[in-house]
Chains A and B, each alone.
Chain A
Amino acid sequence: MSRRMPSTSSRRGFTLVETGLAIIIVSTAMLAMLGANESFSKQNYWGERAAQAARLGGEIRERTMVLTMADPVTGTETWGPEFGEATVADWDDIDDYDGLDISGWASTGPIDSAGSVIPGMSQWRQAVRVQSVDPTNLAVVVANGSSEAVRVTVDVYWLDQPSSPGELMTTVTWVHVQ
């Protein structure tokens, strides 16, 4: 009686090829997926930061929304903080905020609508520009203090390093008319 031997050797070889191929495919797929995941993570971070940035822009808007253009204490329309107004807490008219540049790295910001530094946001920066604009054409910038309208622009940045200018996450702009 003869025994019929199974042709295991050829099957074994195929398994090697198959395994190798599978490893290659899986590895390639894994690399691609890891890349994609990294990209998706970045997108997630961006989304989270963009939402945070929108919030930080809104905080400045809320803080300045009710301010007048002339200083309510002195009645003067001096551009920038008036004499004796040393900190944000002292600023009481809209143009006081022109040039405000605060960040978590510098421990000066970011601030909320009450003017308090928001804890746990050390890598954020708020930069404010206030410009006089023509109230009949808000796109036209005029000399500071020469108009009844100002445009406030808040740039919100994400900073990796203290010395870095940061990545501009969003810009919020609005107009204030006296």
Chain B
Amino acid sequence: MMYSTNQSSRRGVSSVLAMIFMALVASLTAVMAIVSEGNVRSAESAVRVSRSLSAAESGLQAAAWRLRRESSRFVVEAGSLEDGFGDRLWRGTWVAADGTIQTQQVDGYLVPSTSGTGVMHAIYDAHVWHDSHGVILENGVAVTALIDEAAGVVYSQGIAIHDGDTAPWFQLKYEMLADGSGIRVTSRGMFDDVRRLVQMDFMLEKRIEYAVIGQSRIMIGKNVLVDGPIGALYGTMPGELDPENGDPLVLRSDFYDLDLVTLDPLLDSLHAVIQVGDADGDGRMRPAHAGEGAALDANPALQDHDGDQYVDEFDLFLFVFDVDDDDQVVYDPVLAHAAGYGTLVDEFAVDDDLAEMLDGADPDRNKDGVVDSLDTAMGYYDGVLDARDRYAKIRGHLSFAVDVASWESARSGSWQSRAEGVIRPSRSQAPSTFGVADPQLVSLTSDMFLNSTNWYEGKANLATPFLTQVASNGGWSGEMTDPEAVPWGSSGAYDIFDRPVYRNVVFGDVKIPMGTNALFVDCWFIGVTWIETTEDCTDNDWNYVGARELGPGGVPQLRFPEMTVDINGVTYSDTTPFSNNLRFDSCTFLGTLAGDRPLEYTHWRNKVQLTGNTRFFIDPEDEDMLAEPDAAILHGMLLAMPEVNREEMAKTSMMLPGWSVDVGNFDSDTSTKVKLTGTIVTGLIDVRGSADIHGTLLTTFRPVELQGPLAYGGTPDAFNTTLGYFGGDDGDMEGVDVNDPEFAGFGQITIRYDENATLPDGIPWPLQASPLSVTWYEGGSW
């Protein structure tokens, strides 16, 4: 018998198989170990990236806070940061031509020795002396704040975002952008050995982010829409909240006096509910909101008729005037037909001015930068009023210097008893904020505008004399007005003037001499129009000496015959020859109206009234201007001006700090609409009738009892920034009551904030560092 060698081979296979099997399992285990380790490392890396990115993002937040605090300490006069001024401001190398730059004291810390005068130095010093973060070590070396003067770069110290040795941390790098317009911040977030960089630009700018800022009571009447924020400074001085002195803000509903039987009582009910239940202060009630909904439950007549999830005045208007119950109120069937609605029946003819204004609000509804048929398809100016018009009396937020408790305590009731109407703020803003202070809400005084008119006065000083220009236009005809009441058309006139009348004169740059006290009719003012007056008018009697009233038989007589005033040894029995009280009727201004700066508010003597179809244009491509019948002439004249002059005058239609200015008529003729652009500065301004203001209204006069025009009595509530219609009883006693036979309508006033407007030079205003979120970028250089 032969034994094969199979046995020995089988023995070998068993061993080999075992070894192979072991090798396979070992390999798999090794692979698994590698994969597993890789997964762990990936996960740890993801965690480290997440933490370092969080640290870097935290750095940008901290930088925004630091920039806002430190940049607002720099109060500059220049209107823009162009021509290298931004860079000089950053480095502290500004020159006299850059205007005055005041650096406010640091807030909340001390700097024993400053590193320099620029914004970059302020940021560096703040990081060194204000911050008290723990020391961060990187590779054993402390990460400290640095300033590189030559490169214009500032580094913060390393800043941990929480305690502990292993906390993520960040370091900031600040540098001026190449064009000098802003600051680029790069934040280096660190956790373990992982670094993430994020960067964002902050625009350095000087901007007044309000449509209206008033030192005195702001009164916004019926048929007025404001597209932009409102800042009310009144109410913080002693006694200002006394009931007889008025309120920081009064808003009059647009919807009263349209239907006395049904609508007015409903509005009363809504306002009563708002005063007790409006949680967010926007003048609307939300049925779905726990608190506001409960307040509405007891008033079933108050319903959301337009389906926008709010109950507001517009719903009640819709309820009363929507006859066919289609959630629309037709006010212009022709317009509606043109917009594609077919044939509709007019449902609202009580106040077409109001309807047209509501329908034309917020023209660029799809926010594509142009107003066209797409916007009409979204409800713009389509002849019907509905939810798509998104009614708002104030399309912006309200900022009050006063705190709400003080105001409501003084009134023994809600502040909303004074403010009727819908407030629709931007998404990130509260409808109303109280206790707002500098730099968010800066107190304005006429002193701040000391140098703001320099450019305009310089042009006027080089102008051909007033009378020469009149003579070259055919001369003065000798025409005088009948004794004319001031304010013009008001039932509460306080002075009368016999005015020389200048008609159809075309002025270039011109200085109107003090004492002119004229009426200009259909005149054109091309360039700068400067109004001369006596600035030293602080004597309490200056305002009244020479004032007249109609006596027996309608004959003018002196109101205060015994009154004189002595200024620097000179006795004046009439101050009208040394002041300027002017009225411009249906005049065209292609430029800026500016003047000397009265040191006291003297509204009887230093007053400007703009009536009729008075127009202000400066932009050759202004769509409203191009719609004028004489657009070709206007366009040609504007193009003929040097561009640099146009740019300067576009900053303000009116620079009259300390003056009393009345804009518009006490009637409702919307075809005679006054148009103003830019930053409008006055002592006080009344805008009546029909006007459109695209820019910012600033008023400088703050009435104080027993001072200035109140020296002989009276209360501050007589001096208001009044915009739009108020009746004789609910306004400043100058308006015409709705039941008066002379009442001609409510008018139509729109005030639209221009976020792109540039301030005139000379207004000292704090810098702002505004984050440009579109510049956020992950990465960058370090």
Contact of A84 (CB < 8 Å), options: B43, B51, B62, B289: B289
Q: Is the CB of B36 within 8 A of A44?
A: yes
Contact of A177 (CB < 8 Å), options: B14, B18, B55, B65: B65
Q: Is the CB of B47 within 8 A of A170?
A: yes
Query: Which chain A residue shows the least CB distance to B160?
Result: A139
Contact of A47 (CB < 8 Å), options: B40, B133, B168, B432: B40
Contact of B429 (CB < 8 Å), options: A19, A29, A58, A72: A72
- A19-B49 Cα distance, complex, nearest whole Å: 53
The answer to whether B163 has its CB under 8 Å from any CB of chain A is yes
- A23-B22 Cα distance, complex, nearest whole Å: 11
Q: Within 8 Å CB of B292, what residues of A?
A: 84
The answer to whether A117 has its CB under 8 Å from any CB of chain B is no
Q: Chain B binding site: helix, strand, loop or mixed by DSSP? A: helix
- A75-B428 Cα distance, complex, nearest whole Å: 10
Q: Given contacts A29-B26, A44-B39, A139-B160, is CB(A61)–CB(B57) below 8 Å?
A: yes
The answer to whether B58 has its CB under 8 Å from any CB of chain A is yes
The answer to whether B8 has its CB under 8 Å from any CB of chain A is yes
In the assembled complex, the CB of B278 is this many whole angstroms from the nearest CB of chain A, namely 10
The answer to whether B131 has its CB under 8 Å from any CB of chain A is yes
Q: Given contacts A29-B26, A37-B29, is CB(A138)–CB(B39) below 8 Å?
A: no
Q: Within 8 Å CB of B7, what residues of A?
A: 8, 11
In the assembled complex, the CB of B25 is this many whole angstroms from the nearest CB of chain A, namely 5
Q: Is the CB of A136 within 8 A of B132?
A: yes
Q: Within 8 Å CB of A138, what residues of B?
A: 58, 62, 133, 159-162
Q: Is the CB of A75 within 8 A of B46?
A: no
Q: Within 8 Å CB of A43, what residues of B?
A: 36-37, 39-40
Q: Is the CB of A54 within 8 A of B47?
A: yes
The answer to whether A166 has its CB under 8 Å from any CB of chain B is no
Q: Within 8 Å CB of A36, what residues of B?
A: 29, 32-33
CB-CB contacts of B279-297 with A at 8 A, as 1s and 0s?
1111000000111100000
- A57-B47 Cα distance, complex, nearest whole Å: 10
- A149-B167 Cα distance, complex, nearest whole Å: 17
Q: With a 10 A CB-CB cut-off, give which of A22, A53, A148 has the most chain B CB atoms.
A: A22
The answer to whether A26 has its CB under 8 Å from any CB of chain B is yes
Q: Is the CB of B279 within 8 A of A84?
A: yes
Q: Is the CB of A74 within 8 A of B279?
A: yes
- A68-B397 Cα distance, complex, nearest whole Å: 16
Q: Is the CB of B54 within 8 A of A86?
A: no
In the assembled complex, the CB of B556 is this many whole angstroms from the nearest CB of chain A, namely 53
Q: Given contacts A26-B18, A47-B40, A54-B50, is CB(A175)–CB(B134) below 8 Å?
A: no
In the assembled complex, the CB of B160 is this many whole angstroms from the nearest CB of chain A, namely 6
Q: Within 8 Å CB of B168, what residues of A?
A: 173
The answer to whether B130 has its CB under 8 Å from any CB of chain A is yes
Q: Which of B418-439 contact A (CB under 8 A)?
A: 427-434
Query: Which chain B residue shows the least CB distance to A65?
Result: B57
The answer to whether B61 has its CB under 8 Å from any CB of chain A is yes
Q: Within 8 Å CB of A73, what residues of B?
A: 279-280, 282, 430-431
Contact of B61 (CB < 8 Å), options: A48, A49, A139, A176: A176
Instruction: With A84-B292, A177-B64 given, name 20 new contacts (CB 8 A).
Output: A19-B14, A22-B14, A25-B18, A40-B29, A41-B32, A44-B40, A47-B43, A50-B46, A50-B47, A51-B46, A61-B57, A65-B57, A72-B428, A74-B280, A82-B279, A83-B279, A84-B279, A84-B289, A139-B163, A149-B62
Please provide the 5 A-B residue pairs with the shortest distance between their CB atoms, ordered closest to farther: A75-B430, A47-B39, A50-B43, A47-B43, A40-B36
What residues of chain A have their CB less than 8 Å away from a CB belonging to chain B? 6, 8, 11, 15, 18-19, 22, 25-26, 29-30, 33, 36-37, 39-41, 43-44, 46-51, 53-55, 57-58, 61, 65, 68, 70-75, 82-84, 86, 134-139, 148-149, 151, 153, 170, 172-178
